A and B are shown apart, each in its own frame.
Chain A
Amino acid sequence: MKISVIKDLLDAEVVCGEEFLDHEVHSACGSDMMSDVLAYVKDQAVLLTGLVNPQVIRTAEMMDMVCIVFVRSKTPSEEMIRLAKESDMVILCTKKRMYEACGKLYLGGLGVSAVK
């Protein structure tokens, strides 16, 4: 699935990384606990989260993730946007809540990666 499709499915706003919207992604995970995200190392490409602090960007960076979706209208700080740009990441913001956002992407065909 292209990141641009994620944007459309979630009615999301692009905060940064407009130039990477054509990038293909194949898996996603949703969590507010960063160590839960870090527990599944296999090619997670998209992180959906309601947590907003710089550790979200660093966690995604450690995992080589390419796109972060902030749910429930959370907006990242300037510092977070700067970190994301440095790592060529796309940041999207959606009004949808976690459950609905994950559901939309799943129904849209974005799978989960096989556990470990």
Chain B
Amino acid sequence: MNEAVRFHFVVDGEDFTSAGQASVQVKKNLRRLGIPPEIIRKISIAMYEGEINMVIHANGGEAEVLVYEDRVEMILTDRGPGIANIEDAMKEGYSTAPDNVRSLGFGAGMGLPNMKRYTDGMKIESVVGEGTTITMTVNLT
């Protein structure tokens, strides 16, 4: 397997109820590829947090998952408001989520720190007013 296995998803920003569907699908696909369950769990949680963020903070976006022999790469791209201060956003407990998002069970300010915790590499590129791209890598070996 020299070429990456590639999955692509469009994440709907209008529909909170279906948010997370891409992550559920990725989890299923990774199981089929025979990746160990503890590694799948880390990948799915990181992807899920990123997917939810795109829905609640950026009105949706796109997710690309690339499975290489030695690693899985997740690239989440949105055209939302961007993140003004990435250093602040990475702090546990930092959240700009409004009350209606909190009442849905999100807005603890733990998502980005969780994504960092469960991946071996994470890069955030964001331009205010243009959007955000988050690239995460989880090693398989």
Contacts and interface: CB of A to CB of B under 8 A. Distances in A.
Interface stretch (B19-27, B58-66, B67-75, B122-130): B19-27
Given A53-B17, A58-B23, A64-B37, A38 B105 contact: no
Interface stretch (A6-14, A28-36, A68-76, A106-114): A28-36
B45 A63 contact: yes
A116 B105 CA distance: 22
Interface string A52-64: 0111101101111
Contacts of B24: 58, 61
Contacts of A79: 17
A53 B105 contact: yes
Interface residues of B, number: 28
Given A62-B44, A63-B41, A39 B110 contact: yes
B41 A55 contact: no
Contacts of B109: 35
A105 interface: no
Contacts of A58: 19-20, 23-24, 48
Nearest to B113: A39
A51 interface: yes
Contacts, number: 74
Contacts of B106: 33-35, 55
Contacts of A39: 110, 113-114, 117
Given A41-B118, A54-B17, A61 B110 contact: no
B27 A62 contact: yes
Given A58-B20, A61-B24, A62-B44, A32 B105 contact: yes
B63 to A, nearest CB: 14
B110 A55 contact: no
A116 B24 CA distance: 23
Contacts of A41: 41-42, 45, 118
Q: 5 nearest interchain CB pairs?
A: A35-B110, A58-B20, A33-B108, A51-B105, A34-B105
Interface of A: 32-36, 38-39, 41, 49, 51, 53-56, 58-59, 61-64, 79, 116
14 contacts: A32-B105, A33-B107, A34-B105, A34-B106, A34-B108, A39-B113, A39-B117, A41-B118, A49-B105, A53-B17, A54-B18, A58-B24, A62-B27, A62-B44
